[in-house]
Amino acid sequence: MSVVLLQQQYGERIDAVLSRTLHELDELAPELKAAMEYGLLQGGKRVRPMLVYASGELLGNASPRALDAAAAAVECIHAYSLIHDDLPAMDNDDLRRGKPTVHKAFDEATAILAGDALQTLAFELLSRQWDDGLDAGRRLRMVQELARASGYAGMCGGQALDMQSEGKLIDQSRLETLHRHKTGALIRAAVRLGALCARDLDEAHLNALSRYAEAIGLAFQVQDDILDITTDTQTLGKTRGKDLVQQKSTYPALLGLDGARQLAQQLYQQSLAALAEIPYPTHTLEAFAHYIVKREF
């Protein structure tokens, strides 16, 4: 099945789960709920939920309810991070997915609260009793996985490094450290959460999936840097050339455009090598890896 069809299939599934989850919230604070919905359901590539589904289904014996909860939790964390990243105190962006950012559509205070609420909703989803066949130990492990990926040791730490590096020339090693945390940690968590939904989990297979995820997580950011200078704002759905304006170090700036593309290809090959260690049909995850380095928005 092509990635386009997979995106449609998994995208429709996760959108239904997310819509149902928000619908279940009461009307305590309607404007906040509307901002959460705006930030969560305004499109997007849904790469992280798709990786949850693909890795869980690859290993088999994964409860659909567990996969839905994990996929929704990861996307809630991703949406919260985008809402906060766009704020004036962070990246100060007015456009996301071709539409006004949450703080522009509502206001800054509501945007902050919407991000906070989506973050906590993610952990509520993972810890809720879903009758999915997972024991408490496995569920706790999943909560810890997402917490680490989204906190100091992951996404938040990476964002701090990114902010500290603005206007400075940093080397490739530090840039990779930054992006393995800011972008890669949540992609790695998505793959691992899907695998952790499988009742019969081989740790060797989980380790191979982790190496796959680390490679595509960094490749995703390399391709983002390439697109920031080669694609127009309308296609990107966000402001083109923002990295240059904010004087951020990027892979094209460090390696040149051809060098950045070569690095993306090297990471793609690393991801395939990791998948080769898993004795199951991995064509779906292979297709996602190819999509990540070839996407145009």
What gap in Å lies between CA 186 and CA 165, rounded to an integer? 21
Q: What pLDDT is attached to residue 169?
A: 84
Question: What pTM was computed for the model?
Answer: 0.93
Number of domains observed in the structure of the chain: 1
CA 236, 117, 111: angle at the middle one, nearest 5? 50
Instruction: Classify residue 16 as exposed, middle or buried by CB count within 10 Å of its CB (0-12, 13-18, 19+).
Output: exposed
Domain that holds residue 265: 3-294
Q: How many other β-carbons are positioned within 10 Å of the β-carbon of residue 74?
A: 31
Q: What is the CATH number of the domain that holds 42?
A: 1.10.600.10
Contact 182, 153 (CB under 8 A): no
Write out the chain's pLDDT in tens, 297 residues: 678 888 889 999 999 999 999 999 999 999 999 999 999 998 888 999 999 999 999 998 898 999 999 999 999 999 999 999 999 999 899 999 889 999 999 999 999 999 999 999 999 999 987 777 888 999 999 999 999 999 999 999 999 999 999 888 899 999 999 999 999 999 999 999 999 999 889 999 999 999 999 999 999 999 999 998 887 766 555 565 566 555 678 999 999 999 999 999 999 999 999 999 999 999 999 999 999 998 877
Question: What's the CA gap between 66 and 43, in Å, rounded?
Answer: 23
Residue 168 burial (C-beta neighbours within 10 Å; 0-12, 13-18, 19+):
exposed
Distance CA 268, CA 289 (A): 6
* Interacting residues of 147 by C-beta distance below 8 A, sequence separation 6+: 123
